[in-house]
Structure 1
Amino acid sequence: MRTLSYSGLLCILSIAPFTGSLAAPSRSHPHKVKESIVPPRGWVKHSIPSADHTIVLRIGLPQPNFHVLEQHLYAVSDPYHERYGAHLSKEEVERLVAPHQESLDVVDEWLKSHDIKEGELVRSPAKDWVTLKIPVSLAEKMLDTTYSVWKHVESGDELVRTTSYSLPENIHEHVDVVQPTTMFGQFKRFKSTISWPEDSETPPQLKAVATASGVTVDPSCNSTITIKCLQQLYNFVGYTPTSKGNSIGITGYLEEFANSQDLQSFYAEQRPDAVNSTFKFVSVNGGLNNQTLSESGAEAALDVQFAFGLAHPIPGTFYSTAGRPPFKPDVTTPTNTNEPYALWLDYVLSHPNPPFSISTSYGDDEQTVPESYARRVCASFAQLGARGVSLLFSSGDWGVGDNNEDPATQECFTNDGRNITRFIPLFPASCPFVTSVGGTVGINEVAVSRFYSGGGFSDYFSRPFYQDKVVKDHLATIPKGTYKGLYNPKGRGIPDVAAQSDRYRIYWRGRAVLIGGTSASSPAFAAIVSLLNDVRLSKRLPPLGFLNPLLYSKGISGFNDVTIGHNSGCGTKGFNATQGWDPVTGLGTPDFGKLKKLVLPFH
């Protein structure tokens, strides 16, 4: 792989802005279709929004030097590269993703032609995104389109959307994407059903098991997962972080609030040395911090209690991001209808010191997020990776299928009007610049449970180079013709890694409950990454940052391979867990004892 030297980066960063003749104001140019989709399956036109209904419009300008940023991302994330760990600063990243001045000027002229003033705009730090609040009537004029209220037949969710929009011809090359327009995603949390410990069906008890690392796992861990269980399973019993400056973060959406009283109850039971410690709360876009015990979120409780409990005393941050798409469009100014993780990205990219390890347990069916928008959001994740942030995302709980909890009755169809059967990969887990975490269950760690570990292959993103060998090796094990046409064998493979994902004991609304899903796997793995960052920081080394190039090379030997189980969905058994990487559990589950040696420089 060709990479640029650091001096080459400085050269790129100092390039003068593009200057050239500006196109004439956009009103003199006819509109041309920018994006058009077939009405997605399950959505029907319901009504017409009022003309003064407010839309928060996000306009993405091109990032002409993103390929350079990508080169640097891989250089600083490759453990065999001389620049490994030399992460870029916030300012360096912003310069690399900044649009040309011509794009800024042309788009500004277009906005001015619609009487939109500079004071009405919000620009991202790199100026690659422009956000404005406007009535739907003006949005329709600007985009030469007609918005409708669309209703999802099954859920009753409603969205104000269009299936096609246009831009003046002279604007096309200066705008990558405009949303909300064609996005019909149903942003959702990943978790299986909550159960009460006294009512739950207890799996057969096993005798104490010695793991490959020689650590003995208590047999109770087969029915209930605690902090002690994960420490035993993943070989970090007795490890205490000591470095300064480390950090871990959890993202919260959809009015999920992390309750402090529940956290203290959890600490008292499972992490007594953490009692009376807390986390930093950050509100994004008006996100609330409702501490009413009866309104606390199970997802937030799971994420915070295990991520911060496993990583203690590493400082934790919980981000509460407002926004709940879909919404009921029956008021003039609605809740923001863009995907909330885009709002969170806006916020975290604008801050100089985001947490080094961040877990997210939410996502969408990939096909419900327009590819142009998915690529731009994915590029934002790359910016964080280049700055030294490890991003962990749950791979989903429905195997190769959609969010129907019964794999046998899932209807997995394409969203492009063809309505052909297709496996349903998830986004953002399918982005090649994040680490996707699948699920296992039981002391013997198999890839099957009350739900199925999300996995498969992206239809948007091609297979990244770091996955090339292991994915090809796995594809060679699949009998020829199996699932032909149901997945993209050239796509980015999901997940990358796995961890325990069922029967986690947490405190929720004042009571102990069991909860699971890859919602549990991701924060647990993020905590282990945070501990690995402690190993490096204690040696005065930078944090790990984007993990995947390390995991798929030097780090492979630090994982316990999972070879039993599958991930049913779409009326099929899905893929099998096999020797080596597989689209069920990825590379396997972590062995901290091995990884803490592998994350240090060669001797």
Structure 2
Amino acid sequence: MRLSVGLLVVALSSSFNAFALADPGRGRFHVKEAVHVPRGWVEHAKPAPDHTIVLRIGLPQPNFPVLEKHLYEVSDPEHGRYGDHLSKEEVEDLVRPHPDSLEAVNKWLVSHGFEETDIARSPAQDWITLRLPVVAVEKLLDTKYSVYKHIDSGDTLVRTTSYSLPAELHDHIDVIQPTTMFGRLKSARSTLLFNDNDEDDTVALSKAKTTADNIAATLTNQVSGAVVDASCNRTITIKCLQQLYNVNYTPQNVSTTPQIGITGYLEQFANVQDLTSFYTEQKPEAVGTSFTYVSVNGGENPQNLSQSGAEAALDVQFAFGLAYPIPGVFWSTAGRPPFKPDTSTPTNTNEPYADWLDYVLSQKDADIPKSISTSYGDDEQTVPRSYAIRTCNQFAQLGVRGVSVIFSSGDWGVGDGNPDPATQECITNDGTNRTRFIPVYPASCPFVTAIGGTENIAPEVAVSRFPSGGGFSDYFPQPLYQLVDVQKYVAALPKGTYKNLYNPLGRAFPDVSTQGDRYRIWLRGIARSIGGTSASSPAFAGLIALLNDARAAKGKKSLGFLNPLIYSAKTRGVWNDVTVGKNPGCGTQGFNATKGWDPVTGLGTPNFGKLFDIVV
């Protein structure tokens, strides 16, 4: 099934002459937002005046604190409203802007010659979308755009370092993008591993079983007591995850619509032939089945085997394989740099998860999968705080509607994403050039569940080939659900450890972990080994889909926003504590895994069977 979903915008007529009008109130402009050009970016050129920008204007949501209160009540297993999720219509009522804001912004747009047919509005009217040439945006926001180039990658973005609004509008507009956002959405590594001579074919599993470190037939995890095939110490399969995490549940598949979803970005395409090869090897009963593909904003999913993406292959194969026969959906969202900024062709602003959020929030409650995994993120500091807060609040809207939103925590430890620790530059981009650990967004959003990575079986330790992302947000305060656990960890650190390098009162991540390395996937017709918290997130999402299925079979609601449950006293015994490992970066050893919560593996890895007994 393929659905084509276009961006909800209406093109302005090429003959639109309103921008030639005198700019009303020009003398009353005041700077709304300003940033320094982040390190690694340089001003490269001026964009063509007719370069098209899709401008998103976010209006304030005065009742969001009420929505947040609902979110925590329906997500707290000790609360009487647990599972009493809100509907799409109830959520939209809560995020609707105040009439004064709608009136002020409408008046402003009319003064610039816009008509209602030129404007696209979200269902709650909290987002306004315009599509117009850069010269018009410059006039509207009293600014100048430039083409900026990323030195290392060559990526280019059309951005400004500040924009202004009439003074009377500042209280009626939260954020406008793309303006000051220099984020480079990236996959959480998904590093491919190749054996000698690029050999990693159908004999890899049998080879793994005969290696010197896997002579024993089984291994026993000392924490959980799980008995696991010894080959899992080298190669992770669906069976390995089921054994290690005590998964012994056959889905009832009570839903005919997708109940687990994978987001695909950056032209990562999910190939059905590769999925079939994966199922043939690891899930024979699933052979002949596939997934629903949905295009968001023109996203594609070509089935040429040579275009199969490693990230997409990993995500759909393990998420849907673990959850089978629960139906799944793969969203392909268009947009990525680099692009040619000298043309009038609409180009994405490298914020595709905002496009995806627009799409999924507009869907009926019954049509949204209740477990969704995303394996992408940005350095938090490259996402303007105002924009991070607004998109984070959109994740909260999904949570209160009963959706578990799951993100990988990143694969660069406390660093900036450079795989070579020796060349990491952990420097703030606020003009002070301070050395600072670099948290990852959206993993740092308090309304999502962030998943770290582990490796090995007996014992399970923090992944080491790439350091699992983790740390503390500089944008979001520490939520109450994790305050006790996190502050216990912070208090135990030697006095002065990493002083001024992190925010000890920030939202801490990851929340929990799963295996994150040596996953056996099929890519472009060949079996490969792959690693990253890109693997941890879809695996965890698959487990949540199973729990939701079991709850649905008993007439119970989906788990929804998971974090209050994860940190509750009710689930203290369901996490396999991981106490060995660290996440180095920024020229440091990073944080250490230790007893209890830590910013490397969170509270540990799941014991599905115990969790099942509690929530089902």
TM-score range, shorter chain: over 0.9
- Within the candidate set 222, 236, 249, 1:225 is matched to 236
With structure 1 as the length reference, what TM-score do the two structures score? 0.93
| Conservation of the 8 A alpha-carbon contact between 1:499 and 1:525 | yes
Q: 2:240 aligned with 1:215, yes or no?
A: no
In 2, Cα distance between equivalents of 1:82 and 1:230? 34
Are 1:196 and 1:512, in contact at CA under 8 Å, matched by a contact in 2? no
Whichever residue aligns with residue 293 of structure 1, its letter is L
Residue of structure 1 in register with 2:386 after alignment: 372
Which residue is equivalent to 1:50? Answer: 48
The Cα offsets for residues 130-158 of structure 1, whole Å up to 9 and x where unpaired, read as: 01101000100010000011111222111
Amino acid in structure 2 at the alignment position of 1:387: R
- Identify the match of residue 507 of structure 1 among 497, 514, 522: 522
- Aligned residue in 2 for 1:41: 39
On the 8 A contact 1:197/1:512 being kept in 2, the answer is no
Partner of 1:541: 556
More deviation in 65-74 or 35-44? 35-44
SS in 2 for 1:367: helix
Counterpart residue number, 2:6: none
Distance 1:47 1:204 in 2: 57
Q: 1:21-100 residue pairs with structure 2 within 5 A?
A: 27=25, 30-100=28-98
Q: CA deviation at 1:213?
A: 4.2
The Cα shift of 1:196 comes to 2.9
Give ranges in structure 1 of 5+ residues lacking alignment. 1-24
Contact 2:53-2:347 at 8 Å conserved across structures:
no
Counterpart of 1:219, as a letter, is A
Classify the secondary structure of the residue corresponding to 2:502: coil
Q: Distance in 1 between matches of 2:579 and 2:561?
A: 26
SS at match of 2:123: coil
Give 1:245-284 correspondences, 5 Å limit.
Answer: 245=255, 247-284=259-296
> 8 Å contact 1:66–1:97 — kept in the other structure?
yes
Aligned residue runs from structure 1 range 365-514, under 5 A = 365-443=379-457, 444-514=459-529
CA distance in 2, matches of 1:195, 1:330: 39
Report the Cα distance in structure 1 between the residues aligned to 2:44 and 2:173, rounded to whole angstroms.
Answer: 30
TM-score when normalising by structure 2: 0.91
| Alpha carbons 1:422, 1:487 under 8 Å: kept | yes
Aligned runs of 1:352-367 on 2, under 5 Å? Answer: 352=364, 353-367=367-381
Residue number among 120, 126, 129 corresponding to 2:127 in the alignment = 129
Offset of residue 118 of structure 1 = 1.1
Residue in 1 aligned with 2:245?
234
Determine whether 1:597 maps to 2:613.
yes
1:585 to 588, 601, 605: 601
Matched, 1:563 2:579: yes
Structure 1 residue 574 displacement after superposition: 0.3
Secondary structure, aligned partner of 2:148: strand
Distance, in Å, in 1 between the alignment partners of 2:422 and 2:489 is: 25
The 2-side partners of 1:557 and 1:236 are apart by 16
Indicate conservation of the 8 Å contact 2:52/2:347, yes or no: no
Contact conserved, 1:449 with 1:502, CA < 8 A, in 2? Answer: no
Q: Aligned match of 2:139 in 138, 141, 151?
A: 141
Letter in 2 for 1:596: F
Shift of 1:552: 0.1
Secondary structure at 2:57 match in 1 = strand
CA contact (8 A) 2:253 2:325 kept: no
2:446 match: secondary structure? coil
In 2, Cα distance between equivalents of 1:526 and 1:356: 9
List per-residue Cα deviations over 1:459-481 (Å, max 9, x = no partner): 00000000110001101121010
Indicate which of 297, 314, 323 corresponds to 2:335. 323
CA distance in 1, matches of 2:370, 2:499: 40
Q: C-alpha deviations, 1:518-543, integer Å up to 9, x for none? A: 00000000000111112211211100
Q: Give distance in 2, aligned partners of 1:231 and 1:143.
A: 54
For 1:325 and 1:129, the matched residues in 2 are separated by 24
Distance in 2 between residues matched to 1:368 and 1:570, nearest whole Å: 17
How far apart, in 1, do the equivalents of 2:176 and 2:146 lie? 17
Runs of 4+ in 1 over 4 A off after TM superposition: 197-204
Query: Can you list the C-alpha shifts for 1:335-372, whole angstroms capped at 9, x where unaligned?
Result: 22150000000000000121000000001000000000
Letter in 2 for 1:251: T
After superposition, what is the alpha-carbon deviation per residue over 1:263-308, rounded to whole angstroms, capped at 9, x for unaligned? 0000000000100011111000011111110011110000000000
In the alignment, which residue of structure 2 is the partner of 1:311?
323
**Which residue type is aligned with residue 232 of structure 1?**
Q
Which stretch shows the higher mean deviation, 116-125 or 538-547?
116-125
Aligned mates of 1:336, 1:214 — CA distance in 2: 49
Letter matched to residue 309 of structure 2: G
Letter in 1 for 2:455: V
- C-alpha deviation, 1:38, in angstroms: 1.4
Per-residue CA deviation, residues 360-407 of structure 1 (Å, 9 max, x unaligned), is 000100000000000000000000000000000000000000111122
Distance 1:54 1:449 in 2: 44
Question: What are structure 2's unaligned runs of at least 5 residues?
Answer: 1-22, 201-207
Post-superposition Cα deviations, 1:446-500, rounded to whole Å, max 9, x if no partner, equal: 1132101000000000000001100011011210101101000000001001000
Please point out which of 345, 349, 362 is paired with 2:357: 345
What SS class does the counterpart of residue 191 from structure 2 fall into?
coil
Counterpart of 2:7 in structure 1 is: none
Shift of 1:547: 0.1
Which range is displaced more, 426-435 or 214-223?
214-223
Q: Give secondary structure in 2 for the equivalent of 1:383.
A: helix
My pick for the range that moved more, 383-392 or 554-563, is 554-563
Deviations 1:92-146 (A, max 9, x none): 0000000011111111111111112211211111110001101000100010000
Contact (CA 8 Å) 1:60, 1:175: kept in 2 or not?
A: yes
Contact kept? 1:470, 1:580, Cα under 8 Å: yes
Q: Percent identity?
A: 67
- Counterpart Cα distance in 1 of 2:24 and 2:609: 61
Q: CA deviation at 1:169?
A: 1.1
What corresponds to 1:13 in structure 2?
A: none
Per the TM alignment, residue 61 of structure 1 is displaced from its structure 2 partner at its CA by: 0.2
Equivalent pairs counted in the alignment come to 575
